Amino acid sequence: MSEENLGKIVIFLGPSGSGKTSTIRAMKLPELLSVTTRDPRPGEVDGVDYDFITLDEFEKMSENNEFAEYVTYHGTHYGYTKKAVEKAREKNDITVCAAEIEGVKQLKFLYGKDVIVIFLWADWSEIYNRLVNKRKDPINVVKDRLSTYQKEMSNFRYANYAINTTGVSIKESAAKAFHILMVELYGDNPYSFEYLEGMDYLVHEINFSS
């Protein structure tokens, strides 16, 4: 397949607890499967939610240059293989995935304009509620993830589009994201980068630790 006929990679970027994985699953679009060294959460299935591998396996894959991108996030390794990305682009017009900022940079370096980044975010209190009451993460994990909230909010500058998920259902987030993707292919969009410019105060003026 020629380069111009390959599909686009749509990356969801945002703080932990912003709804990236849930939104992706609700969209029911082809999803790029990540490998990870972390243990499965309750209900997660190997080969469906992630490819769960050992640290030794991950390191061997890295040494063999098998990854299109990989990152270490809160002590856990994640990555998308070149084989998986290339297969997805050949098969699908759009493939969705979640990544951290370093992964976004790596994928954009490799695939350029064929990468679309959607930034998901929510208020600090909403993120806290999701991590503690919905995902029921251990308190040490919650503290670790919240400690990077402000830094992760600043990554909106790398996005093409943004969606505020505060007080919004997963179904609504997925509908907005799906609309973005359809208009990305066929026309103008109300969630374009201009929407992001009013978010500076979230990064610079609010004390997220309070």
- Residues in the chain with pLDDT values less than 70: 1-4, 135, 188-210
- DSSP label of 40: P
Tally of domains in the chain = 1
172-184 per-residue burial string, b: 16 or more CB within 10 A, e: under 16: ebbbbbbebbeeb
The confidence score (pLDDT) of residue 181 equals 87
The confidence score (pLDDT) of residue 3 equals 64
The confidence score (pLDDT) of residue 122 equals 95
CA distances from 37 to 14, 100, 103 (A): 21, 15, 16
Q: Is residue 143 part of a domain?
A: yes
| CA separation for the pair 130, 127 (Å, rounded) | 5
CATH at 169:
3.40.50.300
Angle between helices 20-27 and 170-186 (to 10 degrees): 70
**Strand (E) or helix (H) holding 121:** strand 115-121
The confidence score (pLDDT) of residue 189 equals 56
Q: Residues near 110 by Cβ (< 8 Å), separated by ≥ 6?
A: 68, 69, 85
- Torsions phi, psi for 150 (to 5 deg): -65, -45
Q: Is residue 24 part of a domain?
A: yes
The confidence score (pLDDT) of residue 167 equals 92
What is the domain range of residue 24?
A: 3-31+93-204
Q: Is residue 148 part of a domain?
A: yes
The confidence score (pLDDT) of residue 144 equals 87
Q: Is residue 20 part of a domain?
A: yes
Q: Is residue 64 part of a domain?
A: no
Q: Is residue 112 part of a domain?
A: yes
Q: Is residue 71 part of a domain?
A: no
